[in-house]
């Protein structure tokens, strides 16, 4: 995560920019912008962006591109839906890049890996929970908040490692031995933080959740 410039060749960079522009246009077109007309939702959106910019700077790594930090994609998706979550995390990455913690040429690939994969996995998992499990506070907190957050971080690690291996940046054996195992620890940390925030939101601020009054009882159950 937080890839610097020059780590991948030009072909990967160009493809990433094309995919990122397409994903951004789709997200911007489908985003429920009206929810940000509510001052409380807008304040929460901006506060989450600022908090994640600070959080993404707290990272650890051993080699270029092989850094680890908390993500926040699951909570962002819970609060604002996948469209605004993707756009919001892209703004977070913009702030991180402006501060020199990531490369401009690699911006699109960073956005696709962290915002795209993180939000995409979170949104898919949330919809599966809505469809397959009963609406209950316990299900909401542990499935939508806790386990989905861990799954999102693990997915980012797996996809990032796959990209590095296919691009020949690092060997698959090295990634499997010295990079991917740390995502298990990171996933637990992300799950704990996301579960805690999901609990607080569900109990004290359910109006800030994307599903509104249906957040705890998906599908009207």
| Mean pLDDT in residue range 113-134 | 95
Write out the two tokens for 29: 């077109």
Specify whether the CB–CB gap between 156 and 113 falls below 8 A: yes
Mean pLDDT of the chain: 90
Share of the chain above pLDDT 90, in %: 71
Q: Is residue 189 part of a domain?
A: yes
Q: pLDDT-based confidence at 14, cuts 50/70/90?
A: very high
> What's the CATH code of the domain at 46?
1.10.1760.20
Structurally, the chain folds into a number of domains equal to: 1
- Cα separation, 123 vs 135, in Å, equals 17
- Which structural domain range is residue 123 located in? 10-220
* Residues of the chain above pLDDT 70, percent: 95
Task: Determine the pLDDT at residue 136.
Answer: 86
Question: Is residue 57 domain-resident?
Answer: yes
pLDDT tier at 129 (50, 70, 90 boundaries)? very high
Q: How far apart (Å, rounded) are the C-alpha atoms in residues 97 and 133?
A: 39
Residue 160 has pLDDT above 60, yes or no: yes
> Does some domain include residue 2?
no
Beta bridge partners of 218: none
Arithmetic mean of pLDDT, 48-69: 88
**pLDDT at res. 213:** 45
Nearest to 65 by CA among 166, 179, 212: 179
Closest CA to 80 of 133, 144, 13, 35: 35
Q: How many whole angstroms separate alpha carbon 23 and alpha carbon 17?
A: 10
The answer to the question of residue 1 being in a domain is no
pTM of the shown model: 0.92
The verdict on residue 22 lying in a domain is yes
The three-class DSSP label of residue 168 is: coil
Per-residue model confidence as pLDDT tens digits over 81-109: 999 999 999 999 999 999 888 889 999 99
Decide if 3 is inside a domain: no
Contact 76, 210 (CB under 8 A): no
Mean per-residue pLDDT, 186-201: 94
Hey, what are 66's tokens?
């092989």
pLDDT tier at 218, thresholds 50, 70, 90:
very low
The verdict on residue 70 lying in a domain is yes
Of 150 and 134, more confident: 150
The residue-averaged pLDDT of 78-83 equals 96
| Per-residue H/E/C for 147-163 | HHHHHHHHHHHHHHHHH
């Amino acid at each position: 995560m937080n890839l610097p410039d020059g780590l991948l060749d030009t072909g990967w960079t160009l493809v990433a920019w094309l995919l990122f522009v397409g994903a951004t246009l789709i997200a911007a077109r489908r985003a429920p912008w009206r929810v940000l007309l509510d001052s409380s939702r807008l304040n929460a959106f901006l506060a989450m962006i600022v908090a994640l910019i600070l959080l993404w700077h707290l990272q650890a790594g051993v080699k270029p591109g092989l850094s680890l930090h908390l993500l926040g994609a699951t909570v962002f998706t819970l609060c604002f839906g996948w469209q605004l979550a993707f756009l919001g995390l892209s703004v977070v990455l913009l702030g991180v890049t402006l501060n020199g913690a990531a490369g401009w040429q690699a911006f699109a690939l960073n956005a696709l890996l962290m915002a795209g994969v993180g939000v995409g996995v979170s949104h898919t998992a949330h919809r599966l929970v809505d469809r397959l499990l009963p609406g209950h506070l316990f299900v909401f907190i542990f499935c939508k908040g806790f386990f989905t957050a861990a799954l999102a971080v693990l997915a980012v690690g797996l996809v990032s490692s796959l990209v590095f291996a296919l691009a020949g940046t690092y060997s698959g054996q090295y990634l499997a031995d010295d990079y991917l195992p740390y995502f298990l620890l990171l996933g637990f940390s992300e799950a704990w933080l996301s579960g805690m925030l999901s609990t607080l939101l569900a109990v004290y601020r359910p109006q800030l959740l994307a599903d509104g009054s249906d957040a705890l009882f998906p599908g009207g159950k």
